[in-house]
Structure 1
Amino acid sequence: MEEKKKFVWADSLRVAATVAVITVHASASIPPLFGQVPQSIWWTANIIDCLARFCVPVFVMLSGALLLRNYSSTAVFFRKRFLRIVFPFLFWSLIYSLLQLSVKTSRLWHMSIAEYLSFFWKQLAEDTISYHFWYIYMIMGLYILIPFIGGLVRSASDHLLLGFTGIWFLLIFCIDFLGTDTEIYDVLRYLGYLPLGYYLGKKDLNKNTRLVSLLFIVLGLLITTIGTFWLSNQRGTFDAAFYGYTSPNILLFSVGVFMLFRCSGWRLSNQAGSFINQYSYGIYLVHVLVLSQVKLPWLNSYPLIGIPLTVIFCLAASGTVILLVNKLPGGKYVSG
Structure 2
Amino acid sequence: MISGVTLLDYRERYSTKVYFQKRFFTVYIPFLFWSIFILFYSLILGRISISDLSFASIIDGIINSKFLSFYWFFMPLFAIYLSIPIISLIPKNKRKTIFEYIIGVFFVFNSFLPLVFNLLKIPYNSSLYIPVLGGYIIWIFIGYYLDRFDLNNKSRKIIYILGILGLLLQIVGTWFFSYQNGYVDQMFKGYNNLPSWLYSSAFFLFIKENYHKLNFKGILSKLISLCEKETFGVYLIQYYLMEFFILVLHFDPYSISYRLGASVLIFFLSVFIVKILHKIPIIQKLC
TM-score after normalising by structure 2: 0.80
Partner of 1:103: 45
Aligned 8 A contact 1:206 1:263 in 2: no
Aligned 8 A contact 2:65 2:72 in 1: yes
5 Å-filtered alignment, 1:107-256, equals 107-108=49-50, 119-152=57-90, 154-173=92-111, 188-205=134-151, 211-256=157-202
**Please, what is the CA RMSD of the aligned residues?**
3.1
Partner of 1:76: 18
Aligned 8 A contact 2:234 2:274 in 1: yes
Are the structure 2 counterparts of residues 209 and 253 from structure 1 closer, same or farther at C-alpha, using a change threshold of 3 Å?
same
Matched residue SS, 2:46? helix
Q: Could you tell me which of 62, 65, 79 is aligned with 2:5?
A: 65
- 1:160-212 C-alpha deviation (Å, 9 max, x unpaired): 211111223334336786799xxxx9x82211111121111101257887655
Are the structure 2 counterparts of residues 175 and 285 from structure 1 closer, same or farther at C-alpha, using a change threshold of 3 Å?
farther
- 1:74-123 C-alpha deviation (Å, 9 max, x unpaired): 11111112221012111211221111121133635x69xxx676653332
Partner of 1:55: none
**Structure 1 unaligned spans of 5+:** 1-60
Partner of 2:118: none
Letter matched to residue 190 of structure 1: Y
For residue 127 of structure 1, report the CA deviation from its aligned partner: 2.8
Between the two proteins, what is the percent identity of the paired residues? Answer: 22
- 1:118-144 C-alpha deviation (Å, 9 max, x unpaired): 653332233312112111111111000
Partner of 1:283: 234
**Structure 2 unaligned spans of 5+:** 116-122
Matched residue SS, 1:193? helix
Q: Within 2, Cα distance between the matches of 1:327 and 1:291?
A: 23
Aligned 8 A contact 1:161 1:199 in 2: yes
Q: How many residues align?
A: 266
Q: Within 2, Cα distance between the matches of 1:275 and 1:179?
A: 47
Which moved further from structure 2: 238-247 or 156-165? 156-165
Aligned 8 A contact 2:245 2:251 in 1: no
Letter matched to residue 88 of structure 2: G
